[in-house]
Structure formats: structure tokens, C-alpha cells
A = this chain, B = another copy of it.
């Protein structure tokens, strides 16, 4: 048998929207894809069998969390992340950059890398581009992200430029450290804040290095949807059509529709599981806050036509009761329902692009969200 090869195949386009397949050592990813976030080796509140059954092809793991606990060498000694958590499909790991910015304490970013204090026990850690790649190799991820420097919004253009240039130098070092891993891919991350010419320079710099895929980082950090979407639109033209494009950490179902319309292929976000733990469901009929007393006597499920039992089989009254009572099952069911709805949405998006009717699909989907449950009896 020949070596496995990491590939991206484009099957169809519809406007800027793309329907493709990313092939990895651990299997195929149908794009546009939503990747449930398995932060510390678990998609919070779900069995991985459920994640698979919702139609997710790939899940995400966080280098920051896994390096702190249980540790990359420890996971490697147990056979790698796939075996450790019991998931045989593709896994993408981020590089740690975003969490160092958002979770760690006393962080310092120097040319060599980032140093920071763990949010768990205050111990000091170093993360260089080379170490991030080493960790991802130890974990055995199928898609490995370069280390980048993320900024929260707002920031000055000067800061954005400095962080972008540093991320570009780290990109080169990451690429060198990634080496040759058949069937696995290394993605560069476009930075540059909301300044189009910085985004362009970042994208062109990354393309000159050459990656299996390109991510857009540093968005959905406070800039608002309009600025996020315009930044995506300004960036996409500088990314090669024959490589997957991954919008990191995004977003709401509407963010996803809008970003697919602009040419994004891959997404991840904690929103479906985090919202689920807080009593909120995403459905075909829009957002439903199960804490609301109006659901207390409502025998209807969230979506009787869904293939997911969490959406189709449990009454709003019961979900309301579980949420109000702080029961684990409430968090489990709503996290499951949300991951299922996100995957249903992606399946709808993929089918619509294939059929050349993505714009209609997006309009009808948004219309259904607006009209809410009125169409449900």
C-alpha cells in the first residue's frame, strides 16, 4: 500500500460556497464541516458515539488543555489521542495560541515562543512553535495548527501588525517542525486583525510557505459579525482555491451560513455544547431558551422531524424541568441536540451547494429561524 496522502477535493461550488472533501489518515471530512470541540479529550456532555451519529466527521482537541492535563507524552504513551479518547475519525488540534491569550495567566510572548502560567495550578510553561508541533505529533492529530499569537479585540493596528508578523515567522518554524507526516496536514493561520492589507500580507506570506490548509484566526473575538464577515471576504481572495479554509472558533448558525457563502470550508465552536449546558437549544426554529417558564407545560419536542432523539423524543416540558432542576441529563440532552442541529445544518448546506441552490437554502433557513415555532404544532 502507498503512503496515505492528505488531500482536499473540491466537488462543487455555488457562488463562493464550496462543497469538498478533506481526506486524512483517519478518514474523510465532508466540507463545509462543523467540528465539535473536544477541549480536554471529550466533547462536553456527549458520548463520542453520539457525536459520530450526529454526522460529525472530525472533532477538535486543544493543545493548551491537553498539554497541561494529562500531558502530551502521557497521551502518547497511552497510544495517542485517538486511542485515549476512543475516536477513530480525524482529529484537529489547535496550537495553544488562542487559549494562552484567553485562559492563561501572566503570559509573555517573545520571539522564541510564549510563556504563561497554567490556569489549573499556576505552574509556568513554555510553548514554542516547535513544541506545539511536537505536542500535536505526540497526540497524533490529523490536522495540526501552527502556533500563532492571538489578540483580543479591540487592539491597535500596530499591535495587529506586530502579532501578524510574529505569527508569520512562527508559521515558518511550525512548518519546518511539522516535517513529513503522511496523511496528516499542517494548517497556517492568517492573522492581521480587521485590517485588510494586514490580512492580505499574512495570507500571502503563509501561501509562500505552503500549507495543506489555511485558517483564519483572530476573529469572533469581539469585533462583531459585520466586521468579521468583511474581514473574511477581504482575506479569502488571497487563499488558494485548492486548499481547505478553516474559520477558527466560529460561531452561531447564522455566522456559519454567512461564512460558507464567502468560501469557508471548516468551522469549530464551543457554542453548541456551552449553550446546551446553560439551557439553550439551537433548532430549525431558532434559539430556544428552555429555562423560560413558557415551556413548563409544553409536550412538544424541540423538533419532531429530527433524526436526533434529543431533538425529537423529549418534550420541552421535560427539558425545562431538567434545566430548572440543574440535572446532568438536561445538559446532556441539550448539548446533544445542539451538536445534532449544527450537523443537520451542515448537511443541509452541503446538499444545497451540490444542488446549486445554496442562496435559496440560506434564505429559507434564516426565514425559518425568524418565524420560529409558529410552523410547529
Of the candidate stretches A134-142, A196-204, A211-219, A324-332, the one touching chain B is A324-332
A315 lies within 8 A of B84 (CB) = yes
A79 lies within 8 A of B299 (CB) = yes
B327 lies within 8 A of A40 (CB) = yes
A318 lies within 8 A of B40 (CB) = no
Q: Is A307 on the interface with B (CB-CB < 8 A)? A: no
- CB contact between A70 and one of B77, B296, B299 (< 8 Å): that residue: B296
Q: Is A69 on the interface with B (CB-CB < 8 A)? A: yes
Chain B neighbourhood of A85, CB < 8 A: 318
Count of chain A residues near B, Cβ 8 A: 34
A339 to chain B, nearest CB (A): 13
Of the candidate stretches A41-49, A162-170, A237-245, the one touching chain B is A41-49
Q: Is A173 on the interface with B (CB-CB < 8 A)? A: no
Chain B neighbourhood of A84, CB < 8 A: 315, 317-318, 321
**Complex formed: what's the CA distance from A296 to B126 in Å?**
23
Chain B neighbourhood of A45, CB < 8 A: 328-329, 332
A72 to chain B, nearest CB (A): 13
**Complex formed: what's the CA distance from A318 to B325 in Å?**
29
Q: Is A355 on the interface with B (CB-CB < 8 A)? A: no
Can you name the residue of chain B whose Cβ is closest to the Cβ of A299?
A: B78
0 or 1 for each of A272-285: is its CB under 8 Å from B? (1 = yes): 00000100000000
Q: Is A313 on the interface with B (CB-CB < 8 A)? A: yes
Q: Is A86 on the interface with B (CB-CB < 8 A)? A: yes
Q: A40-B321, A42-B327 given. 12 additional CB < 8 A pairs?
A: A41-B321, A44-B327, A44-B328, A44-B329, A45-B329, A69-B324, A69-B325, A70-B296, A74-B317, A77-B297, A78-B315, A328-B328
Which A residues form the contact surface with B (CB < 8 A)? Answer: 40-42, 44-47, 69-70, 74, 77-79, 84-86, 277, 296-297, 299, 313-315, 317-318, 321-322, 324-325, 327-329, 331-332
Question: Would you list 30 pairs from A and B whose C-beta atoms are within 8 A, ordered by A residue?
Answer: A40-B321, A40-B325, A40-B327, A41-B318, A41-B321, A41-B322, A42-B322, A42-B327, A42-B328, A42-B329, A45-B328, A45-B332, A46-B329, A47-B332, A69-B321, A69-B324, A70-B317, A70-B321, A74-B296, A74-B297, A78-B297, A78-B299, A78-B315, A78-B317, A84-B317, A85-B318, A86-B313, A86-B314, A328-B332, A332-B332
